[in-house]
Amino acid sequence: MTFFNVIRWIVWKDLVTELRSRETISSMVFFALIVILIFSFSFSMDQQAAREVIAGIIWVAFAFTGIIGLGKSFSAELQNDCIEALQMVPESKGAIYLGKVAANFLFMFIVEILLFPMFVIFFNLDVVEEISWLLLIFLLATVGLSAVGTLFSALTVQIRAREVMLPILLLPLVVPVMIAAVEATKGALNGDPLSMYRQWLELLVVFDVIFSVVSFWMFEFVMDN
């Protein structure tokens, strides 16, 4: 019971502190808006070219905004040495991990939901029929990103150059998730039948399970060392 309570309280704490400070979500949204603007101006003359690469642009924006959020997830715990209090929680550290993953997932998914209409407007996308599949793709890829990103956020938090180290360590690992997300998003945006990009969705599920289980298992070691 305490295990699930710890998860609930970690999510509550992260959401309340974010609602009051608005540091993480505002910086994520700001960064993503700049990415959208730059790409939309780059492709303003050639809408066809934009359609070819829009899935990649979406996931570049989502991945890098996600990294901003993930980086803050544990660096916020350095305030008043709160990370030590988390280390001393008399419960499996897996509960802290799951709480942090849930909070990170929520932040990233909320930002994605806020930003996607911008992509639709700036790149003139027709997504009405495929919106449920797109949301599923966003959800699955964001689970993978937050599962492995939370672990690496904890791993790099005590390093002096953590802002640099987090993307350097994380991005190569999430390449499979990114490729699957881009391919599935491309299929959905093109209006392809599900059977043509179903394998990418299945791949996302497989990576989510692998990343979540391995990260959950490793988190205890990371927090205790």
Partner 1 sequence: MTAISCQGISKSYGHYEVLHDISLTIQQGECFSLFGPNGAGKTTLLKILATLQRPSEGRYEILGLDGLKEKETIRANMMFLAHGAYLYDDLDAKENLEFALALRGQTPTDRDMKLALDRVGIGAFAEMKVRNYSAGMKKRLALAKAMLAKPKVLLLDEPFTALDSAGTEIMREYIRERLSENGTVLMSTHDHNKARPITSRAGMLRLGSLKEISLKALKSDDLF
Question: Footprint of partner 1 on this chain (CB under 8 A)?
Answer: 2, 5-6, 9, 12-13, 16-17, 20-21, 79-82, 84-92, 224-225
Question: Are residues 41 and 124 in contact, defined by beta-carbon separation less than 8 angstroms?
Answer: no
Q: How far is the CB of 18 from partner 1 (least distance, A)?
A: 8
Residue number with CB closer to partner 1 (24 or 153) = 24
Residue number with CB closer to partner 1 (195 or 225) = 225
H/E element, 28? helix 23-42
Angle at 151 between CA 12 and CA 211, to 5 degrees: 105
CA 173 to chain centre: 13
Residue number with CB closer to partner 1 (86 or 210) = 86
Report H helices in 76-130.
82-87, 93-122
Residue number with CB closer to partner 1 (83 or 140) = 83
Tokens 């949301």 belong to which residue?
135
* Rounded CA separation 173/166 (Å): 11
Q: How far is the CB of 26 from partner 1 (least distance, A)?
A: 14
User: End-to-end CA distance of the chain, in Å?
Assistant: 26
Residue number with CB closer to partner 1 (192 or 220) = 220
Q: How far is the CB of 53 from partner 1 (least distance, A)?
A: 39
Q: How far is the CB of 15 from partner 1 (least distance, A)?
A: 11
Tokens 């919106």 belong to which residue?
131
Q: How far is the CB of 17 from partner 1 (least distance, A)?
A: 4
